Amino acid sequence: MDRADVLVIGASPAGMACTLECARLGLATVLVDSKRPDYVPSPANTVFEAMAKKAHMPLEPHLVRRWLKGMVIRSPSGRGIRVDARGCVLHRDRLDAHYIEEAERRGARVLWQHRAERLVVSDGIVEGAVVNGEPMRAAITVVACGVDCGLARLAGISPMRHPHDLAWALEAHVVGEGVGEPEYFEYTVGSVAPGWKATYTPLGGDEATIGVYVRRHGRDVSAFFERHLTRFEAEHGPVRVLSVAKGADPVATLPHELVCGGLMVCGGVCGQSGIAYGIRAGTLAAQTAAEALDKGDVSAAMLRAYVRRWRRELWWEHVVGRLSLEMLRRMRDEEIDALVAALEDYDTSRLRGHPLLKLAGVGMHVVRKSPLLALTLLRKISQGMT
């Protein structure tokens, strides 16, 4: 293949989904990734069923390690709100294999240990990338190479609105008697993990993962992890750490510029956080690529169809996510305790529909329970909008 229709950089969830959809639509597609084919799977392995459905993501039985009934959101003092929203822990290696094998079966070329070093730009249009020292030309390039990849910026676009707001994470796979048995994810918010959450994902039997995701305290979040581990062991008994994963979650960064001539960006690199929403964004980028190639027009104006589609489906999920996290980041532990207390009797099955409606529903409940607390929240939310 002298010149591909689409060159996808990065086998992230977004990149793999984009590659599969491009191949399904009959485009000559190449996916390059710098890692080895026998790579350690990403620690990102949980999804909620509703998000997966929205992303048209496969949750076939062989991909799922364990179903959980929902999540418990815990305040710093240990109060909890139970949300019955089914979610699962995936066999991440099998999910990746599903996308890669399907894409290859439909004709895509997947090249491991191929690192894109820079983009090839001619007259303001991206025409591929230099990969392992050699130019690899394509009509459309899709950058999906994760939060730490600077390639999109090299094309002169800034893909994240708030890049300083990455949540740096440390997650451990642990074993301890019965720690895998509970049937709910647990997310603790407040000073235990400022800016986002401390997690507990029971994997079944004696296995679990626990982690912290922290914003605005630097990349080294090990002190927060140690504190979370101490609290966890006090509650659940001693555990042994089998392995540790580190990385960054772009959940609060918000997508910004997603296209320029010949180029689309998707996944964590542009703040499209999470497996499911990355997969959906990658699929939408592929559909736009097919239309653009059909019309012989890869200009930024044409590729903006991807942005419009993505905004229609997912923009408000990201905005409400950021607003909520910014509100939490500004709250003291006592205020979070009061909020969780106010929501303990809230019927979370009403959390349906547009993300803004969900937020408004929760807000109205707090107004009824504690008008003063509602005022505090309103103030913190409005500060988060600036």
Binding test (CB under 6 A) with ligand FAD, winner from 47, 73, 83, 120:
47
**Smallest distance, ligand FAD to C-beta of residue 132, A:** 9
**Smallest distance, ligand FAD to C-beta of residue 364, A:** 29
What is the strand order of the sheet 207-215 is part of? 80-83, 70-74, 184-188, 197-204, 207-215, 167-175, 240-249
SS3 298: coil
- The reply to whether 281 sits near ligand FAD by the rule CB under 6 A is no
How far apart (Å, rounded) are the C-alpha atoms in residues 285 and 295?
15
- The reply to whether 126 sits near ligand FAD by the rule CB under 6 A is no
- What character string, x for contact with ligand FAD (CB under 6 A) and - otherwise, covers 171-210? x---------------------------------------
* Total residues binding ligand FAD (CB under 6 A): 38
Cβ-contact 298, 140 below 8 angstroms? yes
Instruction: Indicate the length of the chain as a whole number.
Output: 386
Residue whose CB is less far from ligand FAD, 144 or 331: 144
- The reply to whether 76 sits near ligand FAD by the rule CB under 6 A is no
Binding test (CB under 6 A) with ligand FAD, winner from 245, 367, 373, 378:
245
How far apart (Å, rounded) are the C-alpha atoms in residues 169 and 213?
4
Q: What is the dihedral of CA 376, 355, 160, 382, to 10 degrees?
A: -20
Single out the segment in contact with ligand FAD by CB under 6 A; choices: 36-44, 62-70, 218-226, 296-304: 36-44
Single out the segment in contact with ligand FAD by CB under 6 A; choices: 6-14, 59-67, 185-193, 255-263: 6-14
Cβ-contact 278, 8 below 8 angstroms? no
Residue whose CB is less far from ligand FAD, 272 or 376: 272
Binding test (CB under 6 A) with ligand FAD, winner from 17, 57, 83, 169:
169
Single out the segment in contact with ligand FAD by CB under 6 A; choices: 70-78, 267-275, 341-349, 376-384: 267-275
- The reply to whether 317 sits near ligand FAD by the rule CB under 6 A is no
List the beta bridge partners of residue 8.
31, 142
- The reply to whether 12 sits near ligand FAD by the rule CB under 6 A is yes
Binding test (CB under 6 A) with ligand FAD, winner from 30, 116, 157, 328:
116
Three-state secondary structure string covering 202-245: EEECCEEEEEEEEECCCCCCHHHHHHHHHHHHHHHCCCEEEEEE
- The reply to whether 247 sits near ligand FAD by the rule CB under 6 A is yes
Strands 109-111 and 70-74: unpaired
Q: What is the dihedral of CA 80, 84, 89, 94, to 10 degrees?
A: -160
Footprint on this chain of ligand FAD (rule: CB under 6 A):
9-14, 32-35, 42-47, 115-116, 144-147, 149, 169, 171, 211, 245, 247-250, 267-269, 273-275, 278
